[in-house]
Structure 1
């Protein structure tokens, strides 16, 4: 979260007018990040961003007006976290017991070049996530 100062970015179309802003968008795509604020804040621009790597991790985003004499909006949001419980007990994953060889083998069976051909980063991530889960 923060003030990224790229007023020329159109988040709806994922486009930008300046080279530095286009590089910023590429960085966001390359790291599979999503920008979750939907409303412009200052003079129609979204400068303060909330970036996440999981689609349903951040929710209830609200703009709360400026604090004091700042020209930035306060952003309130919740980090959503599902807790898995089995018979009343909290379950956690034990990665020490994972079979990463099998994991690598299963992922290696997918023809990724064909499955991801012509897709933008976000769509590619959704295909990968679907296959993974």
Structure 2
């Protein structure tokens, strides 16, 4: 989103009349190469006696990400209208699996506890499956 100041781009047609090495054409090609969609189609800059232009652009990588754009009056003495952009954002909750943090384990205490057990008495003559 922003003021890109490329008034010669025809965003409805996705073309410019500039030559291949012109910054306007390079910018337009870069947006196409990045698979960006330009959602703003209404002129947002107006000066008396001049042609109105689409200079304030809203790009996304998904057609349905921008729900709608409202063009509101300019703020202060700006010659750019204000854009109110409603985004279609969905938040998905990702449940994090709990995992043990072995770095916090007291391995010395674990060894002491295991050594304190009389394993012959505990396991005795039990079959392997029961042990």
Q: Per the shorter chain, which TM-score range?
A: 0.5 to 0.7
**Highest Rg: 1 or 2?**
2
Corresponding residue SS for 2:40:
coil
Q: Which residue of 1 aligns with 2:87?
A: 79
1:63 alignment partner, one of 52, 68, 71 = 71
Q: Does 2:9 correspond to 1:9?
A: yes
Q: Which residue of 1 aligns with 2:58?
A: 50
More helix, by proportion? 1
Alignment of 1:28-39 (within 5 A): 28-39=31-42
**C-alpha separation between the residues in 2 aligned to 1:93 and 1:21?**
45
**C-alpha separation between the residues in 1 aligned to 2:44 and 2:37?**
18
**C-alpha separation between the residues in 2 aligned to 1:8 and 1:20?**
11
Paired residues, number: 88
User: How high is the TM-score relative to the length of structure 1?
Assistant: 0.60
* 1:61 Cα deviation after fit: 0.3
| Structure 2, unaligned runs of 5 or more | 46-50, 97-131
**C-alpha separation between the residues in 2 aligned to 1:79 and 1:47?**
20
1:20 alignment partner, one of 13, 20, 23 = 23
User: How high is the TM-score relative to the length of structure 2?
Assistant: 0.61
Say if 1:93 and 1:13 are closer, same or farther in 2 by CA, change over 3 A: farther
Corresponding residue SS for 1:32:
coil
| Structure 1, unaligned runs of 5 or more | 85-89, 95-133
